A and B are shown apart, each in its own frame.
Chain A
């Protein structure tokens, strides 16, 4: 499983992300964060784009060269993450499970803060790091 996660890291390559810390009125808010995910001696960086409203957070993690690695939704009221799309090369049930559980812990932290957010999955020694880049409204590219 760890090897699968390592492969996930290698395949993702890199980008940077913004995260949505708060909504702008009732309009969905789009934010971006720089992402760094480390496991053992390997690590990758990327971009996470989040679109959030009062019920749901939609997220996408992309790599530097424009390849989408992962998209997900977080239901705020039910506190549940669904993986919507994932790179086929890393589409394994155990990777999905780890990502669902980790994102369920990370995303609430991110949307309630406009600072750097970190989370460590102690079992698999996965370290997540999100740094806000900018705050965008959904119609402002």
Chain B
């Protein structure tokens, strides 16, 4: 009996250690995220379309200011701007611009919540929305998020978020869709806690 209990303990011990390690990684990421007042970076977005065996590459810049200011701007090969300012969202293209109150749109509210939580890494502890597993790969922590809710599963089969281990910054996000299409967003020139002109988040 003692031998059985000992064997069981030895077998389960690595799992226990892994669970703790994942928790401590998430805690580290969230600590840095909560201490982050602003983020500014460039990004390259590559959309892979399975049906066409083709991809579309876009370039842009992102600005974030805690707790609820976000500017996601595409600069090439087209211009498009998404600005979140408190509870309002501005969608601006060359043809038109629209302002949406996220409180009036459940879907917008959810998308905005997901974007903001991805920027600061708080999506990792959102266990009502995702089943999260984290692995160390080289100098990165790679978090795989499997959607738990039906509405999220309809849009994504899984999300993969890459964190730089040395500074806990998000450096890459992979979004896989049930159809086989996927999008990769790679962040670079990341600056944290620098002063960002508030005009960049202006909705007017």
- The reply to whether chain A is a binding partner of chain B is yes
Judging by beta carbons under 8 Å apart, are A45 and B56 in contact?
no
Instruction: Collect the chain B residues with CB atoms within 8 Å of residue A58's CB.
Output: 51-52
Judging by beta carbons under 8 Å apart, are A67 and B52 in contact?
no
Instruction: Collect the chain B residues with CB atoms within 8 Å of residue A47's CB.
Output: 47, 56, 78
Could you give, for residues 33-62 of chain B, a 1 whenever the CB lies within 8 Å of some chain A CB and a 0 otherwise? Answer: 000000000000101010111111110000
Judging by beta carbons under 8 Å apart, are B82 and A64 in contact?
yes
Judging by beta carbons under 8 Å apart, are B94 and A34 in contact?
yes
Judging by beta carbons under 8 Å apart, are A87 and B154 in contact?
yes
Interface centre among B45, B93, B108 (most CB of A within 10 A): B93
Contact (A42, B98) CB under 8 Å given A67-B177, A89-B154 = yes
The number of chain A residues touching the other chain, given as a range, is 35 or more
Judging by beta carbons under 8 Å apart, are B51 and A64 in contact?
no
Least CB distance from A45 to B in Å reads 4
- Choose from A10, A36, A62, A89 the contact partner of B56 (Cβ within 8 Å): A62
A71 on the B face (CB < 8 A): yes
Least CB distance from A33 to B in Å reads 10
Judging by beta carbons under 8 Å apart, are A14 and B93 in contact?
yes
Could you give, for residues 34-51 of chain A, a 1 whenever the CB lies within 8 Å of some chain B CB and a 0 otherwise? Answer: 101010001111010101
Judging by beta carbons under 8 Å apart, are A30 and B52 in contact?
yes
Judging by beta carbons under 8 Å apart, are A68 and B179 in contact?
yes
Judging by beta carbons under 8 Å apart, are B151 and A84 in contact?
no
B160 on the A face (CB < 8 A): no
Give bound CA distance, A113 to B108, whole Å.
36
Instruction: Collect the chain B residues with CB atoms within 8 Å of residue A60's CB.
Output: 49, 51-52, 181
Contact (A133, B155) CB under 8 Å given A45-B93, A51-B54 = no
A138 on the B face (CB < 8 A): yes
Contact (A30, B98) CB under 8 Å given A66-B183, A85-B179, A133-B77 = no
Give bound CA distance, A66 to B47, whole Å.
6
- Choose from B56, B93, B154 the contact partner of A32 (Cβ within 8 Å): B56
Could you give, for residues 74-93 of chain B, a 1 whenever the CB lies within 8 Å of some chain A CB and a 0 otherwise? Answer: 10011010100000000101
Given contacts A10-B100, A65-B175, 8 further A-B contacts (CB under 8 A): A32-B56, A34-B95, A43-B96, A49-B52, A58-B51, A62-B47, A65-B183, A66-B45
A-side residues, CB < 8 A to B, are 10-11, 13-16, 30, 32, 34, 36, 38, 42-45, 47, 49, 51, 58, 60, 62, 64-68, 71, 84-85, 87-89, 129, 133-134, 138, 141
- What are 24 pairs between A and B in contact, CB < 8 Å? A10-B107, A10-B108, A11-B107, A15-B80, A16-B77, A30-B52, A43-B95, A47-B56, A49-B49, A49-B52, A60-B49, A60-B52, A62-B49, A64-B82, A66-B175, A67-B183, A68-B49, A68-B179, A71-B179, A88-B154, A89-B151, A89-B154, A133-B78, A138-B54
